[in-house]
Amino acid sequence: MNTSRPREDVWIERWTGKLQARRIPGLRQGLGHDCAVLAAPSRELDLVLKTDAVVEGVHFLRTTPASLVGRKALARALSDLAAAGATPRAALVTVGCPDKKSAARLQSVYRGLAQAARRWRVAIVGGETVRTRQLLLSVSLTGTVPRGLSPHRGGARPGHLLFVTGTLGGSWPRRHLTFTPRLKEGQWLARKKLPSAMMDLSDGLGADLPRLARMSRVGFRIDSKKLPLSPGANLRQAVSRGEDYELLFAVPPAKSDRLRKTWPFSTRLTPIGVCLPARSGFQAGDLPLQGYDHLR
Amino acid sequence: MNTSRPREDVWIERWTGKLQARRIPGLRQGLGHDCAVLAAPSRELDLVLKTDAVVEGVHFLRTTPASLVGRKALARALSDLAAAGATPRAALVTVGCPDKKSAARLQSVYRGLAQAARRWRVAIVGGETVRTRQLLLSVSLTGTVPRGLSPHRGGARPGHLLFVTGTLGGSWPRRHLTFTPRLKEGQWLARKKLPSAMMDLSDGLGADLPRLARMSRVGFRIDSKKLPLSPGANLRQAVSRGEDYELLFAVPPAKSDRLRKTWPFSTRLTPIGVCLPARSGFQAGDLPLQGYDHLR
């Protein structure tokens, strides 16, 4: 009888052992069981769910340091939670890797994941490793937001002002791997009930703003001179390059003064334009309103 | 100014539009937003989380009908929820596909997903499509279980009897694509507090039973003559082939009579052995205790 353990079990235990260093209140079962089981959050909270994948050749290169791949996989999903005003709680991580020769790289991926999980206080409570032709990570995040306060993409109205955090266009060559998801800012905005619509900028303002506008059934006008450019970036890059991971949100005019006066963060806050009636269309001068298409 | 919509948006909207046909109570935001937002479940419930991926060349073939690929992706994750005694609630689905030529195949994948979601009452509330070298699906499932009642893998004790549902070894060529996750059975067992440990058989009894035994720190003895073989399957296949998606669970002897007398399902229920002290090791005659290793 063969009682040797499948290598998958041993690998996963060794590398994920450190992942679950952070136990969260109410965690009943984590890694090693069929499912993760957690106490339900208070009824004062809503549950926020997000899944996001990074794929070699699309979101990172074969030469990208593997620990930064792990970091990016978690940070991208956290950026979406930031846009929902949510506080992250637990994550499940699926890692696809090509073969045994990837062992060292895979270990670095898990190290980057573990560091990012500690930094942003996420408990990695489950996941799996599967064999794929290219390295990829799929992260599922669970978080919470005060009941009814998660902004979405559909609440902007004509006259609402458009803001972005940070600067745009500086994602390459490195910032797309090292950015800080705007969790604090997103949580603050949601709790203050300031945004009528909010999303994170992952595909570039030129692709993402039209999405927000379509969900809200509004048009918009962007003042290209006001766009906050990252050092060294030009306007085209700020609109089309993608992977800024900044927050884009609309604020009713009656609340915009309060927003600007009480904004407690060092993160830059810039008004970039205004929402218009849908019939006014998308007015952005000659800015190319077209972002990165993951399937192109 | 280019106002054409990125193809990804249009694809995803067209094919996922039918996915969210099932709205669930408390769903505040679903497809089309950065995150899915749901009302937290009652504090009487625990939250159950699971992620599971299927990959072309590993879990299905290039020639597998695509709608069955979609079905299998969801059914596999549901089988894990069954082992946790959970009722599924919401799913996020990430689909990785190679290129434009996959469009028709991808559409069938989504059709299979939608049919499975309707059948098992799962709301698909989010997800994304990414470009990968081979077709793959990663499903994240959220469900609920009565507070504190989810069985896990670590509660079996020496003397507890081991049971399996259904029959083993018949997964190929087709049943691994068309199996029924044992949700009703798992929910019933958990609510009746019968299992001291439970898991689903995905890698084969020969790999999965040792996992349950290690988590519970017990040994076991299996009576190979008692194993319920699928039609046409031999003992080796029943132990090593994997993808049975049946439930394996341990029951204290004081409860085993009640289990057998009150089992309300037509699904076969078979006692296959007994847990032993850890020092007794794994006793299975000459059965090969080694299942399928996803990384081999």
pTM listed for this prediction: 0.90
The alpha helices in A17-163, defined as continuous H runs, are: 66-83, 103-119
Model confidence pLDDT, tens digit, residues B32-80: 777 899 898 888 999 999 999 999 999 999 999 999 999 999 999 999 9
Residue A294 lies in a domain: no
Model confidence pLDDT, tens digit, residues B266-285: 999 999 999 999 999 999 98
Cβ contacts of A131 on chain B, cutoff 8 Å: 55, 58, 294-295
A144 DSSP β-pair partners? A47, A87
Best B134, B196, B289, B295 member to test A by mutation, with max A CBs in 10 Å, is B295
ipTM (interface pTM): 0.87
Best A9, A290, A295 member to test B by mutation, with max B CBs in 10 Å, is A295
Q: How many domains does chain A have?
A: 2
Same domain, A17 and A133: yes
Among B95, B122, B146, give the residue marking a domain's end.
Answer: B146
The CATH number assigned to the domain holding A184 equals 3.90.650.10
Residue A93 lies in a domain: yes
Model confidence pLDDT, tens digit, residues B217-258: 999 999 999 999 999 999 999 999 999 999 999 999 999 999
Residue B71 lies in a domain: yes
Residue B28 lies in a domain: yes
Among B101, B120, B146, give the residue marking a domain's end.
Answer: B146
Residue A295 lies in a domain: no
Among B111, B146, B181, give the residue marking a domain's end.
Answer: B146
Residue A257 — very low, low, confident or very high, per pLDDT cuts 50/70/90?
Answer: very high
SS3 A287: coil
Is B150 in contact with A291 (Cβ distance < 8 A)? no
**Lowest mean pLDDT: which of A74-78, B3-7, B271-275?**
B3-7
With beta carbons less than 8 A apart as the criterion, state whether B125 and A49 touch. Answer: yes
Question: Distance from B294 to chain A by nearest Cα, in Å?
Answer: 6
Same domain, B138 and B178: no
- Structural domain of residue A226, as residue ranges? 161-283
B22/A188: higher pLDDT: A188
pLDDT given at position A23: 66
Same domain, B186 and B104: no
Residue B177 lies in a domain: yes
CA angle at A54 for the pair A51 and A59, rounded to the nearest 5°: 140
A92 touching B (Cβ < 8 Å): yes
The CATH number assigned to the domain holding B140 equals 3.30.1330.10
pLDDT given at position B175: 95
**Lowest mean pLDDT: which of A97-101, A164-168, B76-80, B129-133?**
A97-101
Same domain, A86 and A16: yes
**Chains A and B: how many Cβ contacts under 8 Å?**
286
Q: How many CB atoms lie within 10 A of CB B58?
A: 17
Model confidence pLDDT, tens digit, residues A113-140: 999 999 999 999 988 888 999 999 999 9
Is B3 in contact with A53 (Cβ distance < 8 A)? no
A279 touching B (Cβ < 8 Å): no
Residue B294 — very low, low, confident or very high, per pLDDT cuts 50/70/90?
Answer: very low
pLDDT given at position A101: 63
Binding-face residues of B in 154-173 toward A, CB within 8 A? 154
With beta carbons less than 8 A apart as the criterion, state whether A143 and B36 touch. Answer: no
Residue B213 lies in a domain: yes
Tell me what the mean pLDDT of segment B114-125 comes to. 94
Same domain, A91 and A171: no
Q: What is the dihedral of CA A165, A166, A169, A174, to 10 degrees?
A: -130
Q: Is the per-residue pLDDT at A152 higher than 80?
A: yes
With beta carbons less than 8 A apart as the criterion, state whether B126 and A50 touch. Answer: yes
Same domain, A18 and A134: yes
Residue A153 lies in a domain: no
Binding-face residues of A in 133-152 toward B, CB within 8 A? 133-134, 136, 138, 140, 142-145, 147-148, 150, 152
Same domain, B99 and B178: no
B187 touching A (Cβ < 8 Å): no
The whole-chain average pLDDT of chain B stands at 89
Same domain, A231 and A166: yes
The whole-chain average pLDDT of chain A stands at 89
Same domain, A136 and A167: no
